[in-house]
Structure 1
Amino acid sequence: MIGDDLIARILREGERRADEVEVFYARGTSVSAEIKKGILGTAEESEAWSMAIRTVRDGRIGSSSTGDPDRWKECLEAALASGRLATPQQWGGFPKPAEMAGTASSSDPDIVVAIEDAAGMVDALLAGAAEHPVEVVGGSADLARSYIAVANTNGVAYGMDRTVAAVSLEAIREQSTGYEFDASPFRADIDARSVGEEAAALAARSLGGSEVATGRYDVVLSPVAAASILGQVILPALSGRNVKAGRSFLADKVGEQVFDETLSVYDDPFAPGLGSTAWDAEGTPTRRLVFVEQGVLRRFAYDLKTGYRYGEGSTGSAVRSGGDTPGIGFHNLFIDGPRVKEPGDERAVWIHDVVGAHTANPFSGDFSVEISNPFWIEGGDLVEPIRTAMFAGNAFEMLRAIGGLGNDARHVGRLTIPSIRLNNQQIIGK
């Protein structure tokens, strides 16, 4: 392949001028079919190519990226130049070849990246939405196949295939809206008709909601709402870089009970999912990492740069997007625990999604968000819609004592999470 040949050439050239060189390479094809005014609108096919180069000399790390394979020499020169300006740091070297602890589950041979396949998924979305008296205002179906590789001058040369199938639909009925989505590496996981039907049902059933008075209520966060809030707070708190910089609420709490004793948080890179991989974005073998075990904090996540700087070593937690430099992240993160009682059995405010989660304070855990598609839930059923309101609180405090986890865990990006019942929470209404 042209990518493999080019990578080898860059490594040979770079090794003459630096102590170490790393190349991260990605190429892919994708199709996207969009819904416009309730029907299939535009459908586009595209190709992408990107490469990122890092060089190390005397502990100085340089980096550059390009989207043009013919400009690889300029990219290498730019990486070397940025390295000369970098501050030296403690550095133990790029990874060497190593045995993997497991295999990735991130590619589906049955996915066909073709416009007609994406258009068929759109038809299914619209068929599902037609089950309710709503207007479809947007949505899409996407299919993609990519190949990524990482190689370095220490002999690492890993490559893997990835696939993605994704759908979404937004519907409206008068002043009420509903939105649903799904994404997976596997086409069989995607039920486009159900996604369309669920989005339309949310719009139709949310119409004419009652006001809720400001006060404290039991709340049930759907997996989508829980992921929106906790993803903005918990993930940054587990980053070793934030911990060492004093920007994590969990710093200095290893071995302490930080969450409810029923909760565990772990990263399983070998589970089927969008982030499944046997090696991270720097070529370090991945492994299952337990960050919180039955409420007790066990560890943090590190990439090479942060691990070397603080004497911790990498946990195989480096991630990156396209030509970006690697950073600390997660592959398939699970927030999990035993299901003792359904969280929606007793009356509570059920929240499908939230708006404004990005404003949550990742250090303190404080948040204030607008809630979307709220209902009163009782006996496991959504019994009455509620007009929009605000939900405010502290993510770390609310996870210290939860009222139950649901049997409805779902993937939201790289996070897998069930619905969560929280008792005595602040709702700001009329």
Structure 2
Amino acid sequence: MRNATDYTDLVEKILKAAAREADEAEVFLSLSDHVSLELRRSEVGEAEKAVSWGLAIRTIKDGHIGASMTTSPTRWEDCLRAALASGRLADPQDWGGLPDPVSFPRDIDVYDPSLVTDADTATDIITTLLAAAEGGEAETAGGGVSLGKGSSLIANTNGVFYTREATSASVSLEAINGTSTGYEFDRTAHLKDLKTDWVAEEAMFLADYWAGAGDIESCTADVVLTPTALSSLVGAILLPALSGRNVHAGRSFLADKKGVPCMDPSFVLYDDPYDGMGATRFDADGVATRRLDFICRGTVQSFAYDLRTAYRYGETSTGSAVRSGAGGAPEIGVHCLKLDARRENVRHEKAVCAHGLIGAHTANTITGDFSVELSNAAWVEEGVYGAPIRSAMLSGNLFSMLEDIAGAGEERREIGRMTLPEVRFKNLHIIGK
């Protein structure tokens, strides 16, 4: 795969042409090379290879912002014309300028030069996965492996020219035992860190243990949410509440709570853009990233802003712009979100522990109210699993739950762009049979 820097001449040509017709211009270039292999039950399917190339151009003239993208290097002139044309149709907004270049204080570690995106490597991982899944009663229902390399750059007419290389390796397995299922996954930037055996063993354990699940009476109990379960509520409710756009639009529960203690005094939430799979020295606007403390000791400290939102509301960008690829415009997000709270043995006293939640996307993102189905839930006590629960609903309000946390576990797990512990919440309403 070619590197983004191989297109330096093209990028400079685009910026030079754009500068003749716009006040400012920005180019974002993204290249990726992926191979994936899917399991069909316990049979290995065919490997799929995908190579992508994408170019996005953004122009600014008199506060009119235009954007366009192309997947062909030879179409850059058409792409530039489309960006300029869309800008002429856009409503003007307050604009303080694209960023100037800066020096970065630290490097990031999200690239594995030994990772090769080929079918043989993927097949070796699948073979190891299937071997580790043998021995239980459950059967393999599906899964897969994906290996990827990516290279990107962002450059603008103010002199910014930043590049980023990243690799990823992921593996997943779904197991089934009667009507009981288990699913586990892992994703890492470095191939040597991929926990293939653990993924297989956990998926088989979940399917086998919950094959004997029974009903639960409706009750009020402490609930331990593992990182996979907690991530769905954090992503659906808490992250939208920290967006500067939602804050100024009146769509955030936390809008009037900056500087106000409103959560457990031990609760900490911050974005560390130098530590995690999403690590980057610059955001999707070309703004240098930095640690952003959202909540410290239970008090809201900051909200997240990209350039466009910051200029619109008289704020300063927090380096929080992200993209979903060359075709996606910059939007507010996080890079490597970290959550922490008072460290406790959260499974010592009796509680319901849930590995997953179904339906978190239906939560009310403004009020924090939710009603979800528990997945792979069981009673735990003194660190040991007790009776597995076949089916139950959990309802509550995430902001109320965060006011008084019973504790957070010692271990942390990276889920997407979040690194989370398991957290114990007090006296939640569980709806059983």
| Bin of the TM-score, shorter chain as denominator length | over 0.9
Q: Deviations over 1:212-251 (max 9, x none)?
A: 1112111110110001111111111111111011110000
Correspondence for 1:38: 42
Amino acid at match of 2:404: A
Correspondence for 1:260: 264
SS in structure 1 of the partner of residue 169 of structure 2: strand
- In structure 1, the gaps of 5 or more residues are none
Asked whether the 8 Å contact 1:212–1:386 carries over to 2, the reply is yes
Correspondence for 1:59: 63
Correspondence for 2:30: 26
Amino acid at match of 1:395: L
Q: Are 1:385 and 2:358 counterparts?
A: no
Counterpart CA distance in 1 for 2:391 and 2:74 is 53
Q: Are 1:327 and 2:342 counterparts?
A: no
Which of these residues, 249, 253, 262, is aligned with residue 249 of structure 1?
A: 253
Counterpart CA distance in 2 for 1:427 and 1:223 is 19
Q: Deviations over 1:337-381 (max 9, x none)?
A: 231x21110111110001111111111111111111111111111
SS in structure 2 of the partner of residue 374 of structure 1: strand
Q: Are 1:114 and 2:113 counterparts?
A: no
Q: Are 1:372 and 2:375 counterparts?
A: yes
Counterpart CA distance in 2 for 1:253 and 1:64 is 38
Q: Deviations over 1:57-109 (max 9, x none)?
A: 00010011112222111111111111001111110110011122322221112
SS in structure 2 of the partner of residue 247 of structure 1: coil
Which of these residues, 283, 291, 299, is aligned with residue 288 of structure 1?
A: 291
Amino acid at match of 1:321: S
Correspondence for 2:184: 180
Q: Are 1:360 and 2:357 counterparts?
A: no
Q: Deviations over 1:159-205 (max 9, x none)?
A: 01011111111010000000001111111221111101101110000
SS in structure 1 of the partner of residue 211 of structure 2: coil
The Cα of 1:398 is off from its aligned counterpart by 0.5
Q: Are 1:146 and 2:150 counterparts?
A: yes
Amino acid at match of 2:215: E
Counterpart CA distance in 2 for 1:321 and 1:3 is 21
Asked whether the 8 Å contact 1:368–1:392 carries over to 2, the reply is yes
Counterpart CA distance in 1 for 2:16 and 2:334 is 31
Asked whether the 8 Å contact 1:223–1:408 carries over to 2, the reply is no
Correspondence for 1:240: 244
Counterpart CA distance in 1 for 2:136 and 2:410 is 26
Correspondence for 1:299: 302
TM-score by length of 1: 0.98
Correspondence for 2:87: 83
CA RMSD of aligned residues (A): 1.0
Counterpart CA distance in 2 for 1:366 and 1:390 is 13
The Cα of 1:2 is off from its aligned counterpart by 4.2
Correspondence for 1:278: 281
Which of these residues, 399, 411, 416, is aligned with residue 413 of structure 1?
A: 416
Amino acid at match of 2:390: R
Correspondence for 1:426: 429
Counterpart CA distance in 1 for 2:409 and 2:202 is 18
Which of these residues, 45, 51, 61, is aligned with residue 47 of structure 1?
A: 51
Counterpart CA distance in 2 for 1:252 and 1:101 is 34
SS in structure 2 of the partner of residue 421 of structure 1: strand
Counterpart CA distance in 1 for 2:382 and 2:132 is 26
SS in structure 2 of the partner of residue 325 of structure 1: coil
SS in structure 1 of the partner of residue 212 of structure 2: coil
Q: Are 1:190 and 2:194 counterparts?
A: yes
Asked whether the 8 Å contact 1:353–1:373 carries over to 2, the reply is yes
Q: Are 1:160 and 2:152 counterparts?
A: no
Counterpart CA distance in 2 for 1:248 and 1:105 is 34
Correspondence for 1:201: 205
Amino acid at match of 1:120: D
The Cα of 1:157 is off from its aligned counterpart by 0.4
Amino acid at match of 1:27: L
Correspondence for 1:3: 7
Amino acid at match of 1:276: A
Q: Deviations over 1:116-169 (max 9, x none)?
A: 111111112212221311111110111100101000000000001011111111
Amino acid at match of 1:360: A
Amino acid at match of 2:360: A
Moved more, 397-406 or 98-107: 98-107
Amino acid at match of 1:302: Y
Q: Deviations over 1:33-65 (max 9, x none)?
A: 111121211211110111111100000100111
Identity of aligned pairs, percent? 49
SS in structure 1 of the partner of residue 213 of structure 2: coil
The Cα of 1:20 is off from its aligned counterpart by 0.6
Which of these residues, 14, 20, 38, is aligned with residue 16 of structure 1?
A: 20
Moved more, 116-125 or 56-65: 116-125
SS in structure 1 of the partner of residue 87 of structure 2: helix
Counterpart CA distance in 2 for 1:62 and 1:423 is 49
Which of these residues, 101, 104, 120, is aligned with residue 97 of structure 1?
A: 101
Counterpart CA distance in 2 for 1:44 and 1:199 is 24
Counterpart CA distance in 1 for 2:20 and 2:139 is 62
Asked whether the 8 Å contact 1:211–1:429 carries over to 2, the reply is yes
